[in-house]
Chain A
Amino acid sequence: MRPVNPRGAWTLFQRETRRFMKVKMQTIVAPALTAVLYLIVFRYAMGDRQVPGLEVDYFTFLIPGLVMMSMLQNSFANTSSSMITGKVMNVHIYLLMAPLSAIEVVAAFLAAAVVRALTVAIVLLAVLIPFTGLGLAHVWMILFYGLCGSLLMGGLGLIGGMWSKKFDDMALVNNFIIMPLTFLSGVFYSVKQLPPFWQQLNAFNPFFYLIDGFRHGFIGVGDTNPATAIWVVLAAVTLCVAACWRLWHSGWRLKE
């Protein structure tokens, strides 16, 4: 089905944004509080230590990573929880019955995921920046990696939601794939601190480029070559969005 229903796509986008705003304690306030707790813990654990190889203090290094991790986790949660709740409550049939093309559905879901991720990021930065001297070295990098990260994780959430038949399946995807990948992508450490083997392995992890690029936008230095990072991230996002479109179009695990 070709794109024919912009009002339908806009309605779906509104539905998905209203959904997370209705539970803002859980979707906005809780991630902000968690990030503040992380910062307090690491502030006292690490003191004024510098990050080896980057000439930046650990506290300043940590904040962009935490913001990006929250963005990634929230954009994933927005699409995945909507899909799995819809499937369990049988509401997803309204998306199948509606005259919406795959492009419209995927665009609406991903746009809502980006809005949630950006909302969380703005709240987190508003809470955390007064406690640090964090600057804005390259705004375009912050926006580019923030947007790409939200799209990538929103897309993965959509695929995970389509694949899952029950909440337990979704928990499996979240706890065994998404959480390790985001935690082990350089949020809490510089990749230069890792043994060579793990440094090489990280080169294949798009989350690492996302977090490093996003941080680079704030502190002006990073672990990776920015040109390489842009291509890796663009390729990952393109692949993920294309997979979302293809899978929705085919009705994968949605239609019998």
Chain B
Amino acid sequence: MALRISDLRKTYSNGNHALQGVSLDVPEGSFYALLGPNGAGKSTMINMLADIVRPTSGEATLFGHDVFNDKAWCKRHMGVVPQEVAFDPFFTAREALRITCGLFGQRLDRAWMDELLERLGLAEHADKNARQLSGGMRRRLLVAQALVHRPPLVVLDEPTAGVDVELRRRLWDFMRELNRQGTTILLTTHYLEEAEELCEFVAIIDRGQLLTARPMRELMREVAGSHLWLRYDGDWRLTDADAEALSDYQPRVCDGLLCLTLTRSGQHASSFHSAYEAASSRFGPPLDAGVREEDLEDVFLRLTRENQA
């Protein structure tokens, strides 16, 4: 395993239980998505691995080395893109890379630095002061800083926030290439479509608890269901009583349509027919109906909604 986290907990001094015993295995060479709503505990977990936040309890190993006791080794073998943009206003992008590389104890590989600047679209801005860079450029500089010492594990905490579509695409192509060359990548993002496309493994956490951690295909095959949507005439509405009666299907209104979730597993496993009949018995036959397969975003929303309920 590249990263093994066991029963990791964090309680802040204000009493907030940010992580409540999360365990996670990130296989070596994998592209792993760590998903969760804001405040779920993703950044807390990453910051504990990066030695920015102290753990309350729990263990973590990086390629077999204890993250909290063999800090120097682990820090050299991990690159972290922090969620918050951080830049030193005194230095240029090139100087920032040189400094970061040195702080990690590595001799600067100029060819690699130039390649990073090129691949991340920073080459023509390399000698500008970080203050002169746009928000998206600063975020890409953070990515370059996390990669400059060639770590075998890269942790990307929302690396594409504020980055335009074209550069985001280039960034992901680069990350895929690094992953193919053996770099393990742990990614948190709110762009779930990208996570579904890029990652082979996914973990979803919410309120400091792990909801699921498994291969992406397995999650989509076994957990992702579909939506039954039904159209009714204009004065139709979903009352609390209707919602209660249809609660097995997590009813909600989407663009004026009644949407019911058809799951494939778990205690609320449901079928198209039973959902259609339940809706028809409440509202009568619909004007129109159809089925749409759930994507990762739907699964994510459903799991976090179930957890919060």
Report chain B residues within 8 Å CB of A95: 103
- Whether the Cβ atoms of B90 and A22 lie closer than 8 Å is yes
Residues 214-256 of A, flagged 1 when their CB comes within 8 A of B and 0 if not, give 0000000000000000000000000000000000000100011
Report chain B residues within 8 Å CB of A15: 91, 99
Residues 37-78 of B, flagged 1 when their CB comes within 8 A of A and 0 if not, give 000000000010011111000000000000000011101100
Report chain A residues within 8 Å CB of B52: 93, 96-97, 255-256
In the complex, A12 has a CB within 8 A of chain B? yes
Which chain B residues (224-239) contact chain A, with CB distance < 8 Å? Answer: none
Residues 1-35 of A, flagged 1 when their CB comes within 8 A of B and 0 if not, give 11011011011101100110011000000000000
Report chain B residues within 8 Å CB of A22: 90
Name the prevailing secondary structure of the A interface residues.
Answer: helix
Report chain A residues within 8 Å CB of B182: none
In the complex, B276 has a CB within 8 A of chain A? no
By the criterion of a CB under 8 Å from any partner CB, how many residues of chain A are at the interface?
Answer: 32
In the complex, B270 has a CB within 8 A of chain A? no
Cα distance, A102 to B77, chains bound together (Å): 19
Name the prevailing secondary structure of the B interface residues.
Answer: loop
Which of A48-56, A84-92, A190-198 makes up part of the contact surface? A84-92
Cα distance, A23 to B90, chains bound together (Å): 9
- Whether the Cβ atoms of B72 and A4 lie closer than 8 Å is yes
Contact partner of A90 (CB less than 8 A), chosen from B12, B84, B105, is B84
Report chain B residues within 8 Å CB of A97: 50-52, 75, 80
Residues 87-117 of B, flagged 1 when their CB comes within 8 A of A and 0 if not, give 1111100010001111111110000000000
- Whether the Cβ atoms of A93 and B76 lie closer than 8 Å is no
Report chain A residues within 8 Å CB of B301: none
Which chain A residues (72-100) contact chain B, with CB distance < 8 Å? Answer: 85-86, 89-91, 93-100
Cα distance, A7 to B102, chains bound together (Å): 6
Closest to A86 in B: B88
Residues 145-156 of B, flagged 1 when their CB comes within 8 A of A and 0 if not, give 100000000000
- Whether the Cβ atoms of B104 and A98 lie closer than 8 Å is yes
In the complex, B82 has a CB within 8 A of chain A? yes
Report chain A residues within 8 Å CB of B13: 256
A93 with B50, Cβ < 8 A, contacts A7-B107, A22-B90, A99-B76 known: yes
By the criterion of a CB under 8 Å from any partner CB, how many residues of chain B are at the interface?
Answer: 34
- Whether the Cβ atoms of B54 and A251 lie closer than 8 Å is yes
Q: Shortest CB–CB separation between residue A93 and chain B, in angstroms? A: 5
Cα distance, A4 to B74, chains bound together (Å): 13
- Whether the Cβ atoms of B90 and A100 lie closer than 8 Å is no
Cα distance, A85 to B130, chains bound together (Å): 14
In the complex, B85 has a CB within 8 A of chain A? yes
**How many A-B Cβ pairs are below 8 Å?**
88
Cα distance, A97 to B104, chains bound together (Å): 9
- Whether the Cβ atoms of B72 and A1 lie closer than 8 Å is yes
Cα distance, A1 to B75, chains bound together (Å): 11
Q: Which of B89, B104, B105: most chain A CB closer than 10 A?
A: B105
- Whether the Cβ atoms of A93 and B105 lie closer than 8 Å is no
Which chain B residues (102-149) contact chain A, with CB distance < 8 Å? Answer: 102-107, 145
Report chain A residues within 8 Å CB of B88: 86, 89, 91
Closest to B74 in A: A99
Report chain A residues within 8 Å CB of B89: 85, 89
- Whether the Cβ atoms of A94 and B102 lie closer than 8 Å is no
Cα distance, A211 to B223, chains bound together (Å): 74
- Whether the Cβ atoms of A1 and B71 lie closer than 8 Å is yes
- Whether the Cβ atoms of B90 and A19 lie closer than 8 Å is yes
Cα distance, A256 to B106, chains bound together (Å): 28
In the complex, B1 has a CB within 8 A of chain A? no
- Whether the Cβ atoms of B54 and A256 lie closer than 8 Å is yes
A90 with B53, Cβ < 8 A, contacts A4-B72, A7-B107, A12-B103 known: no
In the complex, B86 has a CB within 8 A of chain A? yes
Cα distance, A15 to B96, chains bound together (Å): 9
Contact partner of B51 (CB less than 8 A), chosen from A8, A10, A91, A255, is A255
Contact partner of A256 (CB less than 8 A), chosen from B12, B73, B85, is B12
User: Could you give 30 example pairs across A and B, Cβ below 8 Å?
Assistant: A4-B105, A5-B72, A5-B105, A7-B107, A10-B102, A11-B99, A12-B103, A18-B90, A23-B90, A85-B89, A86-B88, A89-B88, A90-B82, A90-B85, A90-B86, A91-B87, A93-B50, A93-B52, A93-B82, A96-B50, A96-B52, A98-B75, A98-B100, A99-B71, A99-B73, A99-B104, A100-B103, A255-B51, A255-B52, A256-B47
New A-B pairs, 15, CB < 8 Å, besides A90-B86, A97-B52: A7-B107, A8-B102, A11-B99, A11-B102, A89-B87, A91-B88, A93-B50, A93-B82, A96-B52, A97-B50, A97-B51, A98-B75, A98-B103, A99-B72, A255-B52
The 8 closest A-B pairs by CB, nearest first: A11-B102, A90-B86, A98-B103, A99-B75, A99-B72, A5-B105, A4-B72, A8-B105
Chain A contacts to B: CB under 8 angstroms: 1-2, 4-5, 7-8, 10-12, 14-15, 18-19, 22-23, 85-86, 89-91, 93-101, 251, 255-256
